[in-house]
Structure 1
Amino acid sequence: MAHSSTDRFDPMLQNNALLAQLKQDIRANTPRVQGTIKATDKGFGFLEAEDGASYFIPPPAMKQVLHGDRIEAVIKEDGDKKQADPESLIEASLERFVARVQKRDGRLAVIPDHPSINLALKARIKRSLDESTIADGDWVVARLIRHPLRPDDRGFFTQIDELVVKSDDPAVPWRVTLARHALEQECPPAAESWPMADEGIEREDLTAEPFFTIDGEKTRDMDDALRIEAADDGWHLTVAIADPTAYVDESHPADKEARTRAFTVYLPGQNVTMLPEALADDLCSLKPDVERPVLACRLHVASDGTLGEYRFFGATIRSQARLVYDHVSDWLEGSAEADAPAEPIATQLKALADMAGARAAWREANTLVFKDRPDYAFDLDDAGNVLGIRVEQRRVAQRMIEEAMIVANACCADLLAKEVGHGIFNVHNAFDPEKVDQALEFLTAQEIAVEREQLTELARYRELRRALDDREDAWLDARLRRFQGYTNMSARPGPHFGLGLPAYATWTSPIRKYGDMVNHRLIKRVLKSEAAPEEASLRLTEQLTERRRLNRMAERDVKDWLYVRYLGATLEHGEIFDADIIDIRRGGMRVRLIANGATAFVPAPLIHSDRSQVVIDDKEGRIQVAGEARYQLGGSLRVKLTEAREATRSLVATPAE
């Protein structure tokens, strides 16, 4: 009987099939885990699995991964020990990143600017860059293009896409930080001219009214001016706000750039404006003795601090005084050296102080008022060196302006909610919706009677917050912060638990915030009885929230860098600092120095000479030393700085008690 070739027995084919099946069976029965890489400075690392488990990774295997990589790993057991063997990459922690160039013996590499990644990664330079302009130690933007866990990639390899700053440039902290967060390095370009648009709104002539501004001494983008008159039943306050939308419509290139930037970035010694400086610091700034177009709100505040009727309108003003916070505060507080403002400005300042006091008292009784925290200002020379750090307390003049802006923004929120139904609102939940149950469990464990509605409903939360404030328990407040929510931008009105208000929408800083420009345009549509499309607000909110987060991170990072440089030079003096405990982790505690606002880490080995005597309960936020309670969240202590690490922009401290 004849057989075709396909019917013949082929042992090699059968063996291949069996081998493939065997491999498939082995793979199916081999335990695998997905998780995130956590590197250590000792060469080994850990895979932090999604279920909370942690697996050891030996040094040879760590050469295949970077801190923060999300991977899938094979789990191998050796007796009671379990070890992770990286197998495949899910998501690389590095994509676009800032790094320092390393040139050694003709070889080019980059070292990522990351506290937990200390590897030199092979690199090439983008073709459009001139390699001769990039030297050892320079700062660059690089991109990871090969990873050992990707198919067909043998090792790490990167490409240098951009030179950020030369290593010897005094602007390194600013340039590097802005590049890390992909923020613009320069202010936007100006147009050749800025003609006012005919927007079809009537502008009332208020140039004869004695408006005034109060700002910091170095402020150039002055965006709010006030006029206040005392009445038998309270005060009539007019808030006049700079009007960049009078020059920049939604089709203007400057508007597109402002929409991308979203905010002016304020860094120590440098501002990167949202709008061109010609607008922000000149044409729109409410300088004294020059006419300026404004969007205004005239509102009534009753003697008991309650907010009454309000009216929005377009206007033209001429500020009659440029005042400075400290000078106004000195005068109102009765300093003998303070010069009295001219009339009628002086009368208005007293009226504004009275109104602010009434509003603060009303908010204390009916909404929420949180404790003041000082600001810290860096005094820098022209080369960016820190000459000193000043504590800036919020004084009476700052409170006056703050209360005026709060009432104006509350009016904006009310108008947009009623007349438009959307806009750019600041919405803040007291507690993260996903953490409400945890917060409820925590408060119950502290024997604090609380109902779920007190964490989720504004009126009920006000009661709870005031009851908690009466306890004056710093540890309790610090622990609760772990469950609290963040302020987000929302296209629709919602409660702002932090201020205790049913809705809050800012329009008082349009030179600095794109969301305020959007709200200006919506207010103008109301004035013209025009419909307002909702889609624009919906698209913007996520971007605005993200850009605000990046701006805050950039400000923090530059300050950390300057703190390390400034305080690092003082280590040899052994200065002792009073500090507040702001975080407790398994490895130690984080503290804030009261004198200058710097944060430092106190590692567990430095808490006590015998590490075995230190018991850290990071969940409860408490530390025991030799069996006795010693430190807790919200508490205070005295510390001495031991290290200032510029590579990671971090300070290390030890208790000085």
Structure 2
Amino acid sequence: MSDDAQAAAGTAEAQGPVEISPDLARQIENKREDLFEKFEIRDEFPSEVLAEAEERIEDVQTEIQDELEERRDLRDRATWTTDPVDAQDFDDAISVEERDDEYVLWVHIADVSHYVHPDSAMWEEAIERGNTVYLPGYTIHMLPPVLAETVCSLVPEEDRLAHTVEMHLDKEDLGYESIDIYKSVIHSNERLTYKETEDRLDDEGAPLHDEMSLVFDIADRMHEQRKEEGSLVLNPRRDRAHTIIEECMLKANKAVTHELMWSRGVEAVYRVHPQPSPDEWDEALREIQELDGVSIPGDAWDDPRKAVNATLEQAPERQLGKIQWAVMKVMPRAKYMNDPFGGHHALNFEIYGHFTSPIRRMSDLVNHWIVYKNDVPEALVDLCDHASDKQKDGETAEREYRNYLEEVGLDPDAVNNRGIEIVESDE
């Protein structure tokens, strides 16, 4: 979240929740129910799934102590999480170290597959749901919150089970010198918001300042490197905190799926993004070029992704949304597939997949299981198709819900940031 967004959120909170009448509240609830039925979104969890989740949060610390015999103990390594101010669970954490001839970057991911596995009712429910759906002011979770927000959340000052991606990076080109993926036990020192991370970067005497400064320098270089290599960057003006998280998660996701394909040669849930046709790209670039105050640099036209990147960096703030929309209109939808061939066009990655969000995406959870067991679940093609369909359904439901809120006179962002309070009329 940018500083401006943080400030806006703070203002929204100061204003209090959005007030609506009981009648409008019923209409909104009915609209949600209609969307749930239309897109087959499961809101309530079956009783056996909830009971299983409750059972898995018993004797947590005893279980973690028992697991230490089989896992790497990383509890002494400086580690922290960075998430939005209103995040309810924390599924990724970072550690970093500079050595004489390399950087070492650790991305620790909540070990959801330790609790949610193919023999569990929670796994079946997660597979069916596909992902967490975020509507303004209302969340439909993939996993029972009692599990996701406790043992699967990398909360500060508590030991947690994690799946760690340890990447040794060459200091010159930041290429992978080695990749190691293993089960671990970590102890997060702090839970930081994006705003707090920005503050730490500015304060040389703050805890974790040196580690955060180092990882930002690495992430900033990775970001620039991606752009030079042709990765599309639709939001080039992100703050330092977002740059750290985005680049570290991309690096970890890429490392895992490269390991699965090149080192193991196994099927997995890969993320494939087809490219627009040349005519579609030409259409988008013409639309961008015609915007007031916008000009595509002459040396960038040969590669549409680089042309968009260069234009966004120079364009007036008022035109950024229109440029982004011109690109999004011609972009095919990314999909999950059991092989990576075709690559990820927007990122310009030959191989890519998801691993860093197993609390909210079924694709990541399945990949955790494949990495751990080196065993591919049955009907993987069907799982990939289902994950793609459910992601599309969730995004469409969110769009229709936002449009509905606007139709009844509500600001979806205000509803999301401030919540709703039902008030009776004085009349």
TM-score, reference length from structure 2: 0.75
* Residues 558 and 479 of structure 1, relative CA distance in 2, 3 Å threshold: closer
The SS at the match of 2:149 is helix
- The alignment yields a C-alpha RMSD, in angstroms, of 3.6
Q: Distance in 2 between matches of 1:552 and 1:201?
A: 42
**Aligned residue among 501, 504, 523 for 2:371:** 523
Deviation at residue 420 of structure 1 after TM alignment: 3.5
Deviation at residue 465 of structure 1 after TM alignment: 2.8
1:546 aligns with 2:389: yes
* Residues 444 and 399 of structure 1, relative CA distance in 2, 3 Å threshold: closer
Percent of pairs identical after alignment?
A: 25
Residue 556 of structure 1 is matched in structure 2 by: 399
**Aligned residue among 242, 255, 265 for 1:411:** 255
Asked if the contact 1:291–1:318 (Cα under 8 Å) also holds between the matched residues in 2, the reply is yes
Residue 55 of structure 2 is matched in structure 1 by: 193
Where does 1:268-279 land on structure 2 (aligned, <5 Å)?
268-279=136-147
Asked if the contact 1:429–1:485 (Cα under 8 Å) also holds between the matched residues in 2, the reply is yes
1:261 aligns with 2:106: no
Residue 25 of structure 1 is matched in structure 2 by: none
**Aligned residue among 26, 29, 36 for 1:171:** 29
Q: Report Cα offsets for 1:286-336 as digits up to 9, x if no partner.
A: 1111111111111023334522121111111111111111111234256xx
Q: Distance in 2 between matches of 1:287 and 1:305?
A: 33
The aligned length equals: 362
* Residues 261 and 279 of structure 1, relative CA distance in 2, 3 Å threshold: same
Where does 1:213-362 land on structure 2 (aligned, <5 Å)?
213-308=81-176, 309-333=178-202, 341-342=206-207, 345-362=208-225
Deviation at residue 519 of structure 1 after TM alignment: 0.4
* Residues 211 and 167 of structure 1, relative CA distance in 2, 3 Å threshold: closer
Deviation at residue 443 of structure 1 after TM alignment: 9.2
Which amino acid in the other structure matches residue 125 of structure 2? E
Residue 180 of structure 1 is matched in structure 2 by: 38
Q: Distance in 1 between matches of 2:252 and 2:171?
A: 17
* Residues 310 and 178 of structure 1, relative CA distance in 2, 3 Å threshold: same
Residue 487 of structure 1 is matched in structure 2 by: 334
* Residues 185 and 235 of structure 1, relative CA distance in 2, 3 Å threshold: same
Where does 1:72-111 land on structure 2 (aligned, <5 Å)?
none
Deviation at residue 426 of structure 1 after TM alignment: 0.6
Asked if the contact 2:227–2:233 (Cα under 8 Å) also holds between the matched residues in 1, the reply is no
Q: Report Cα offsets for 1:451-482 as digits up to 9, x if no partner.
A: xxxxxxxxxx9945324655679889866655
Q: Distance in 1 between matches of 2:96 and 2:398?
A: 35
Asked if the contact 1:304–1:362 (Cα under 8 Å) also holds between the matched residues in 2, the reply is no
Deviation at residue 490 of structure 1 after TM alignment: 0.5
Q: Report Cα offsets for 1:479-508 as digits up to 9, x if no partner.
A: 665543210101111310111111111111
Deviation at residue 369 of structure 1 after TM alignment: 3.5
Which amino acid in the other structure matches residue 347 of structure 1? D
1:421 aligns with 2:421: no
Q: Report Cα offsets for 1:141-196 as digits up to 9, x if no partner.
A: xxxxxxxxxxxxxxxxxxxxxxxx99736634433433332212235624241176
Q: Distance in 2 between matches of 1:441 and 1:491?
A: 31
* Residues 478 and 173 of structure 1, relative CA distance in 2, 3 Å threshold: closer
Q: Distance in 2 between matches of 1:537 and 1:430?
A: 24
Q: Which runs of 5+ in 2 are unaligned?
A: 1-22, 290-300, 415-427
Residue 205 of structure 1 is matched in structure 2 by: 73
Structure with the larger strand share: 1
Which amino acid in the other structure matches residue 465 of structure 1? R
Q: Report Cα offsets for 1:419-469 as digits up to 9, x if no partner.
A: 1431001100112xxxx37448869999x9xxxxxxxxxxxx994532465
Where does 1:122-141 land on structure 2 (aligned, <5 Å)?
none
Q: Distance in 2 between matches of 1:238 and 1:440?
A: 37
Q: Distance in 2 between matches of 1:285 and 1:402?
A: 19
* Residues 462 and 413 of structure 1, relative CA distance in 2, 3 Å threshold: farther
Q: Which runs of 5+ in 1 are unaligned?
A: 1-164, 374-392, 449-460, 527-531, 569-592, 597-657
Which amino acid in the other structure matches residue 256 of structure 1? E
Where does 1:427-446 land on structure 2 (aligned, <5 Å)?
427-431=272-276, 436=277, 438-439=279-280
The SS at the match of 1:282 is coil
TM-score, reference length from structure 1: 0.50
Asked if the contact 1:304–1:359 (Cα under 8 Å) also holds between the matched residues in 2, the reply is no
Which amino acid in the other structure matches residue 429 of structure 1? P
The SS at the match of 1:500 is coil
Q: Distance in 2 between matches of 1:517 and 1:185?
A: 20
Residue 305 of structure 2 is matched in structure 1 by: 465
Asked if the contact 1:241–1:508 (Cα under 8 Å) also holds between the matched residues in 2, the reply is yes
Which amino acid in the other structure matches residue 215 of structure 1? D
Residue 243 of structure 2 is matched in structure 1 by: 399
**Over alpha carbons, which structure has the higher Rg?**
1
Residue 372 of structure 1 is matched in structure 2 by: 235
Asked if the contact 2:275–2:332 (Cα under 8 Å) also holds between the matched residues in 1, the reply is yes
Q: Distance in 2 between matches of 1:395 and 1:286?
A: 23
Which amino acid in the other structure matches residue 242 of structure 2? Q
Q: Distance in 2 between matches of 1:467 and 1:415?
A: 32
Q: Distance in 2 between matches of 1:470 and 1:215?
A: 29
* Residues 481 and 204 of structure 1, relative CA distance in 2, 3 Å threshold: closer
The SS at the match of 1:168 is helix
Deviation at residue 210 of structure 1 after TM alignment: 1.8
Residue 296 of structure 2 is matched in structure 1 by: none
Residue 115 of structure 1 is matched in structure 2 by: none
Deviation at residue 561 of structure 1 after TM alignment: 2.5
1:504 aligns with 2:362: no
* Residues 444 and 427 of structure 1, relative CA distance in 2, 3 Å threshold: closer
The SS at the match of 1:348 is helix
Q: Distance in 2 between matches of 1:480 and 1:321?
A: 38
Asked if the contact 1:305–1:361 (Cα under 8 Å) also holds between the matched residues in 2, the reply is no
Which amino acid in the other structure matches residue 228 of structure 1? V
Q: Distance in 2 between matches of 1:247 and 1:279?
A: 9
Deviation at residue 410 of structure 1 after TM alignment: 0.4
The SS at the match of 1:298 is strand
Asked if the contact 1:423–1:522 (Cα under 8 Å) also holds between the matched residues in 2, the reply is yes
The SS at the match of 1:296 is strand
The SS at the match of 1:275 is coil
Residue 297 of structure 2 is matched in structure 1 by: none
The SS at the match of 2:218 is helix
